[in-house]
Chains A and B, each alone.
Chain A
Amino acid sequence: MELRSKIPSGPIESLWEKHRFDMKLVNPANKRKYTIIVVGTGLAGGAAAATLGELGYNVLCFTYHDSARRAHSIAAQGGINAAKNYQGDGDSVYRLFYDTVKGGDFRSREANVYRLAEISVEIIDQCVAQGVPFAREYGGLLDNRSFGGAQVSRTFYARGQTGQQLLLGAYQALMRQVQAGSVKLFTEHEMLDVILVEGVAKGIVTRNLRTGKIESWTGDAVALGTGGYSNVFYLSTNAMKCNATAIWRAYKRGAGFANPCFTQIHPTCIPVAGDYQSKLTLMSESLRNDGRIWVPKDPGETRPPNQIPEEDRDYYLERMYPAFGNLVPRDLASRRAKDMCDQGKGVGETKRGVFLDFRDAIQRLGRETIEERYGNLFEMYERITGENPYEVPMRIYPAPHYTMGGLWVDYHLMTTIPGLYAIGEANFSDHGANRLGASALMQGLADGYFIFPYTLGDYIGTERPTPVDPEHPDIRRTVEEVEARIARLVALDGKRTVDDFHRELGRIVWEECGMSRDAEGLKKAIERIPELREEFWENAAVVGSGDTLNQVLERAGRVADFLELGELMCRDALAREESAGGHFREEHQTPEGEAKRDDENFQHVTVWEHAGENAAPVEHREPLEFAYVPPTQRSYK
């Protein structure tokens, strides 16, 4: 596997602009002769499909949802960053670039991050023109807030529903192209494989979720905007259907998988309440602006929280990080919460939780102000837990939330398979080892509206792909392989439910490859996961048939893939003998218990190549260079 990142040379400030000029264009009259397949209708996929339709390409767009408006981008609460400097507080493209490289703990590509910061400005223009109702000031200008500990106010937001509004913007643009006939949208179609013809991506195989029909679709390029893989943990803040099947199938056809162990555990989620729990709910990070995080000093504490006096409380983040306090980055906040619970100081019935307390903020600012700022979040918390956070402190605990790892892509967002692109959370490129708040929406839309539509033109203009014969044996073979796999799943007539396998996998990956990892645990997981996988293929209970709407079968296919991906995550975490961002290895920490990077040996992207069923994958490395932001130890003391 050859990793050519295709980063153009020159000063970083003009790299993208110059490169846009250097790339080939496709004559407007010729675009309609090319068919582009886009999988996924979230921020990245929806934006890409709409934009390609506007440009005149013939687009086939697929989603497993019943509507393109349901993708999980819709659940993002907080906001979207952009280097507009509308507040005049010293923000700039360069500062957003700098913050993102540092926040990612120096494990991302500088050129990609700079481009992202540059494009952030255009995204806001585009979304406002589409009618996204961002928050406004009385003068009619856009409002901003500071988010996730950033020292400038660069976050644009639409109440606590920014992801929803941005996604609806992309969805509406997509609907306009569907009406215009340039995009053909296939809902309730799940991609189950990518078709390679002589080593080049030429199409996909889908299953119609309503009828079970397996079909092949061919085109001149394929883009996967299929999101991240947090659901490998079973419990995460992702939606129930989020899965890794599309990117995993691409990996198994030869696309490199980059940094699978870089996952983000979000510190402010509602704790697990019981075994039946199906998912975890995120409470916006903005709560940490006013809430104070604490645990009782005494592990044997039995008094209700409001009766625990000040001197018996440990505001551990304020104590350990006086400069940033409760606003330390996500990875630190999460890890410290775990430490407290490991020491037995956790709260709630399960003792896996810490308090997020608004008592002082309510005293200082009044209940009304707190209600104005967080009313909808408090209401959501009460609906789920039955407790009133105005009166008793919230209980929170970290939960898997986002995956920085994903398919390896070059500067053009193309994977190691020619003609196959990965956009949005599905790729690995911009967030390094840790993503900053309000950056995911930015990246999804940058890829979809402003990067992929240009770089695709270069591929089409250079390669001039010709239509593939629909009877080509490579296509038939791929379809047959998908059909055989479905048949094997349907035939599973065991005793144990698919969800139960998923739960056990989640427990293993969470314990051994979650907030903190060590060699011993990872090795254990690498042994245990293949055993579980074997048991799955013998003893899973898949009821119903393959030729109808069958949600058990859908889940079974996704869990089967998670059972493979989980192992790769552990292998990657074991190979990375350092701590960086969300990847914390017990063996590699400073005396104060902070992540200790090893720039000498691990300043690279780890890219895994599939080497056959049950064979160890092959490790490749893309070295990273930092010419603009010199690597330093992150300090939030």
Chain B
Amino acid sequence: MATTTMKLKLHVWRQPSPGAKGRFVTYDADANEHMSFLEMLDVLNERLESSGEEPIVFDHDCREGICGTCGMVINGRPHGPWERTTVCQLHMREYADGDEIWVEPWRAKAFPVVKDLFVDRSSFDRILQAGGYISVNSGAAPDANAILVKKEAAESAMDAAACIGCGACVAACPNASAMLFTGAKIAHLNRLPQGQPERYRRALDMVLQMEAENFGSCTNHGACELACPKAISIDVIALLNRDYLSGTRKRKAG
């Protein structure tokens, strides 16, 4: 079985620092079908390094689609063309010799570019800090089986909890909204009995923080769900809206 090799033309967004002006720079890259997309960039970067040029900065870590560190827009699609796949799991057999590929960072006001393809997603952490947890101290828990959880509730909570916090939902959304991310955490916790005591407060506080971070609003495009590497359903946004509304009423009522 011979390995297919290919020559590609890459147009990569290069931007030296947050305030600086960025531009596309064109590179020739070599690849073969077994490589992952990031390995193709590794090979290009090593070539740049050996010739004294600064390599392309992109963030990545586990390279198995679970840490949520990597992310870039490839030919207009966050994480590239494969559904339910992070860019680290995208493989080069998707491409053919001579292909031209455009690579850009996530684009959103709430995710400023740090360098090249590396963006600042600390706004996601601050949304979580506003209420994305259950308030229980270490050592204060009852026996695990004292809390019964319906299998269906555990499964649907897990569906939402699978979010890896990569930010593709924001990058895909024409409004750069973070509703899928925020809704996923709200749904994870609010679908479980353990999450009920703080249910409405959580929704309210997280949504307020989301707005303070300059994310856009949701106008039901659904692009987020399509781009999500974990296929999180926009149902979580409906739950967010419902619990947020109830939370507003309850807070007003004092």
What residues make up the interface of A, taking CB atoms closer than 8 Å to B? Answer: 47, 50-51, 54, 65-70, 72, 74-75, 84, 86, 122, 124-131, 133-142, 158-159, 161, 164-165, 168, 171-173, 175-176, 178-179, 187, 210, 239-241, 273-274, 276-279, 281-282, 349, 380, 383-384, 386, 449-450, 453, 495-500, 541, 543-544, 548-549, 551-552
Contacts and interface: CB of A to CB of B under 8 A. Distances in A.
Contacts of B7: none
Contact of B141 (A125, A165, A276): A125
Contact of A175 (B1, B69, B82, B132): B132
A165 B161 contact: yes
B195 A131 contact: yes
Given A70-B68, A349-B1, A139 B148 contact: yes
A140 B133 contact: no
Contacts of B157: 131, 133
Contact of B67 (A187, A239, A349): A239
A549 B32 CA distance: 30
Given A497-B46, A543-B53, A133 B138 contact: no
B141 A126 contact: yes
Interface string B121-153: 110110011101111111111111101111100
Nearest to A64: B61
B192 interface: yes
B162 to A, nearest CB: 7
Contacts of A161: 66, 162
Contact of A65 (B43, B55, B61): B61
A386 B91 contact: yes
Given A70-B68, A133-B192, A210-B114, A449 B61 contact: no
Given A278-B36, A497-B46, 15 more contacts: A66-B59, A66-B121, A128-B147, A129-B194, A142-B144, A172-B133, A176-B133, A276-B43, A278-B42, A279-B64, A349-B3, A383-B85, A449-B139, A497-B50, A552-B55
Contacts of B85: 383
16 contacts: A70-B68, A74-B62, A75-B62, A86-B145, A129-B140, A133-B155, A136-B151, A136-B155, A175-B129, A179-B130, A187-B125, A239-B62, A276-B35, A541-B52, A543-B48, A543-B53
Contacts of B48: 543
A548 B17 contact: yes
A25 to B, nearest CB: 14
* Most chain A CB neighbours (cut-off 10 Å) among B3, B135, B144, B149: B144
A179 B129 contact: yes
Nearest to A545: B54
Contact of A552 (B35, B49, B64, B149): B49
Given A140-B150, A141-B145, A159-B158, A281 B64 contact: yes
B132 A172 contact: yes
Q: Which 6 A-B pairs have the closest CB atoms?
A: A140-B148, A129-B141, A172-B133, A125-B141, A133-B158, A128-B144
B144 A131 contact: no
Interface in B31-61: 32-36, 38-39, 42-43, 46, 48-50, 52-55, 57, 59-61
A551 B57 contact: yes
B134 A551 contact: no
Contacts of B121: 66-67
A549 B115 contact: yes
A125 B144 contact: yes
B171 to A, nearest CB: 15
B188 interface: yes
Contacts of B46: 497, 499-500
Contacts of A141: 145, 148
A34 B113 CA distance: 37
* Most chain B CB neighbours (cut-off 10 Å) among A66, A127, A136, A141: A66
A543 B49 CA distance: 6
B93 interface: yes
A75 B64 contact: yes
Contact of B165 (A69, A138, A179): A69
A178 B17 CA distance: 28
Contacts of B28: none
Contacts of B135: 176
A271 to B, nearest CB: 11
B138 A54 contact: yes
Contact of B61 (A50, A134, A240): A240
B38 A278 contact: yes
B66 A129 contact: no
A142 B57 CA distance: 44
**What secondary structure prevails in chain B residues at the interface with A?**
loop
B154 interface: yes
B77 interface: no
Interface string B180-219: 0000000011001011000000000000000000000000
A159 B151 CA distance: 13
Contacts of A551: 55, 57
A497 B43 contact: no
B87 to A, nearest CB: 12
Nearest to B134: A131
Contact of B49 (A274, A386, A497): A497
Contact of B114 (A176, A549, A552): A549
B127 to A, nearest CB: 9
Given A136-B151, A549-B114, A70 B194 contact: no
B118 interface: yes
Contact of B118 (A133, A240, A549): A549
* Most chain A CB neighbours (cut-off 10 Å) among B59, B67, B154, B192: B67
B63 interface: yes
B89 interface: yes
A414 B7 CA distance: 54
B97 interface: no
B89 A383 contact: yes
A400 to B, nearest CB: 15
B120 interface: yes
A68 B122 CA distance: 10
A378 to B, nearest CB: 14
Interface in B64-122: 64-69, 82, 85, 89, 91, 93, 114-115, 118, 120-122
Given A131-B189, A172-B128, A175-B133, A548 B115 contact: yes
